[in-house]
A and B are shown apart, each in its own frame.
Chain A
């Protein structure tokens, strides 16, 4: 639906990103300064690219080979930057009618749907953060955009408001077949948005795929950390085949995972949600030493040690084990194997096992 190939050299930075998103919602995720916002600006035509190709649905925005480069005015993109979205010197109504060729009937419909009638005479300065973003959204949609670009649009809002506003946006865009490309560095936002996820690192695409799949199967330890994962165990790969690998989790637990892996060593990612309730075919039993237990309201946060690796697990308070957990106690945990994921070891990680 959205296809981007962007190359640009800046002072001390290379943008060299290429991705194809089949989904109505695309999330660009990565650390700040990795080129996400730059990509949005390239899609909207606000910065010139050296070479590449950008198309949205069947419309070509930019193609350096064919010499196509629509100016931002012709691309019809709804662009919502992080801040400074509404013109402070114009009333809400004049902000909404600012765009070129705004259809009054369509605008009235949008105002009605978003319940913003009562804000029309106000000035942006007197609106709350949520109201401001909602008005900015209506203004962007008023020009019937081909695509909606959101650059961390909710960073100034609180959790609940954030989710509600995003649901609203998503619903409206899906209804009118407007694809969304959103930039975030917040994992919660990424997972909540769902859709197709592009992981950025140093101006390049590190990984892409459905958000949930990328979350559980990151391709590097760096990405895994970025996604908020904390549990990594260094394991030895004993044998591997077409779609399986046999690993040794120290000190002496051998398990087979349904993942192809080439290499002698790996990082085993065990998501903090991998605790299983009962023994099944797809579970592994591992011996841990409890280090500490945190009660964080709804959840129980258990920190435990597995062969010198400190791991943290989270489970709902109500599903807490029926035995007493206390520091230094040795406990066997059942872990769901389907969440286990092997990540290649990088050179700077050094060697953990003697061969």
Chain B
């Protein structure tokens, strides 16, 4: 098997790493509070929120991508605001790859983190309250540390998913050389122009990253499970 490293491939690797890191950071940042809310409290529209988060898992990536195109486009609800303030659209920029990865991996993280928060026995929280500690202190000193294994596992799954994102990325970031060509898109480009040698290395990198994440997640959950 021949492995070729071209400039395109190098760019794709760098972009994918950047995208996956940024996307995972946002996923964790927004996912933790949301997962905690879903795990610990009852509120109106809770079911609706849960459902909407899960949509990218069941929708065809092109469908999700299309919906995002509509929302983030110049005339969309969110897109028009962005256009108003920044004078440009975020579609078909490198940040669009981050958004695509974010949307695809968010449900994976939220579900895992929610399960992790739910597995923390409520009595720990009760005891913390009776010891005079407020909700925020209890969250950072009890709930979060006690569910860190599940949260880390969720973040790794999200990273792996972000690293392999293709369909939504293609829809909202496009296939612009040296701009939005992540590893999966570059693999597609290589194969569609019959340059299998160029694809091989990228496939290998992608597979290694995904497998090591999966391995780490399994080890983590095994070690921490009661």
Instruction: Give the interface of A toward B (CB within 8 A).
Output: 41, 44-46, 71-79, 81-85, 87-89, 98-101, 139-140, 143
Could you say which of A44, A84, A87 contacts B130, with CB atoms under 8 Å apart?
A44
Select which of A73, A78, A82, A85 is within 8 A of B129 by beta carbon: A73
Q: Contact: A143 with B131, CB < 8 Å?
A: yes
Contact among B130, B133, B141 with A75 in the assembled complex (CB-CB below 8 Å): B130
Determine whether the beta carbon of A88 is less than 8 Å from that of B146.
Answer: yes
- Using known A-B contacts A44-B126, A84-B124, determine if residue A98 contacts B146 with beta carbons closer than 8 Å: no
Give min CB distance, B57 to chain A, whole Å: 31
Residues of B within 8 A of A (CB): 121, 123-124, 126-134, 141-142, 145-146
Query: Does B121 lie within 8 Å of A84, measured CB to CB?
Result: yes
Is B133 a contact of A73 with CB atoms below 8 Å? yes
A143 to B127, CA, bound (A): 12
The contact sample of 17 A-B pairs, CB cut-off 8 A, is A46-B126, A73-B132, A73-B133, A79-B126, A81-B123, A81-B127, A83-B123, A84-B121, A87-B124, A87-B127, A87-B128, A88-B146, A89-B145, A98-B128, A98-B141, A100-B132, A140-B131
Asked if residues A85 and B130 are in contact (CB atoms below 8 Å), the reply is no
CA distance A270 to B211 in the complex (A): 72
Min distance, Cβ A11 to any Cβ of chain B, angstroms:
13
How far, in angstroms, from A89 to B133 measured CA to CA in the complex? 17
Cβ-neighbour of B133 out of A41, A85, A100, A139 (below 8 A): A100
A48, chain B: closest CB distance, angstroms: 13
Q: A98, B126: Cβ atoms under 8 Å?
A: no
User: Could you tell me if B130 and A89 are in contact, using CB atoms closer than 8 angstroms?
Assistant: no
Question: When chains A and B are docked, how far (Å) is the Cα of A108 from the Cα of B145?
Answer: 27
Inter-chain CA distance A73–B132, complex, in Å, is 4
Q: CA of A81 to CA of B146 in the docked complex: distance in angstroms?
A: 18
**CA gap between A73 and B125 in the complex, in Å:** 12
Bound-state CA distance A99–B121 (Å) is 19
Contact yes or no, B130 A79, CB < 8 A: yes
* A residues less than 8 Å from B146 (CB atoms): 87-89
Q: What residues of chain B lie closer than 8 Å to A81, measured between beta carbons?
A: 123, 126-127
Taking CB atoms, residues of chain A closer than 8 Å to B128 are 87, 98
Task: Find chain A residues with CB under 8 A from B121 CB.
Answer: 83-84
Q: Which residues of B contact A143 (CB under 8 A)?
A: 131-132
Which of B121, B127, B145: most chain A Cβ within 10 A? Answer: B127
* Given A88-B146, A89-B145, A101 and B132 contact (CB-CB distance below 8 Å): yes
Cβ contacts under 8 Å, B130 to chain A? 44-46, 72-73, 75, 77-79, 140
Given the known inter-chain contacts A81-B126, A85-B127, please indicate yes or no for A99 contacting B133, CB distance below 8 A. Answer: yes
* Docked complex Cα distance between A69 and B215 (Å): 50
A355 to B133, CA, bound (A): 66
Across the A-B interface, the 5 shortest Cβ-Cβ residue pairs: A100-B132, A99-B131, A79-B130, A72-B129, A84-B121
Using CB atoms, name the residue of chain A closest to B146.
A89
Q: In the complex, which residue of chain A has the Cβ closest to the Cβ of B128?
A: A98
User: Measured between C-beta atoms, what is the minimum distance from A280 to chain B in Å?
Assistant: 52
Kindly state the separation between the CA atoms of A98 and B133 in the bound complex, as whole angstroms. Answer: 9
Assess the A139–B131 pair: CB atoms within 8 A.
Answer: yes
User: Distance (Å) between the CB of A43 and the closest chain B CB?
Assistant: 10
